[in-house]
Amino acid sequence: MNPGQLVLVTLQNPREKFWGVLLALTPAGASLRGVDLQSLDDFTQLVKAGEATMPGMVFFPMHRVQRIEVDARTGELPSLGDQFSAKTGITVSKFFQEPQ
């Protein structure tokens, strides 16, 4: 895993999933800029509607991180990033870049 990659992080206690760009991965934990997976559809609709919204910047301590996987196309199934771009018309790399 390298900074800048789109990832899906599965967390425990409580169980949740977070999708976004990996900012840093250290023994202390993982830093990301992204969105809770449960709110991704609502977030995508806000972006599509042109609402002023930004992905959150979060840190998850390593004891909560259960799994990190790269967000990539699986055969015919598009990645979450592909789905986001198709629904919003905005490339994921542009959307997740650092705010100016």
pLDDT band for 6, please (50, 70, 90 cuts): very high
C-alpha dihedral, 22 to 93 to 91 to 33, nearest 10°: 40
User: Considering the domain boundaries, does residue 38 fall inside one?
Assistant: yes
Query: Domain range holding 85?
Result: 6-89
User: Considering the domain boundaries, does residue 95 fall inside one?
Assistant: no
Predicted local confidence at residue 98, as pLDDT: 65
Q: What is the pTM of this model?
A: 0.86
pLDDT at 56 over 90: no
- Look at 83 and 98; give whichever has higher pLDDT: 83
Give pLDDT tens digits for 28-46. Answer: 999 999 999 999 889 889 8
Number of domains in the chain: 1
Predicted local confidence at residue 100, as pLDDT: 47
User: Considering the domain boundaries, does residue 51 fall inside one?
Assistant: yes
Which CATH number does the domain housing residue 46 bear?
A: 2.30.30
- 63 backbone dihedrals φ, ψ, rounded to 5°: -65, -15
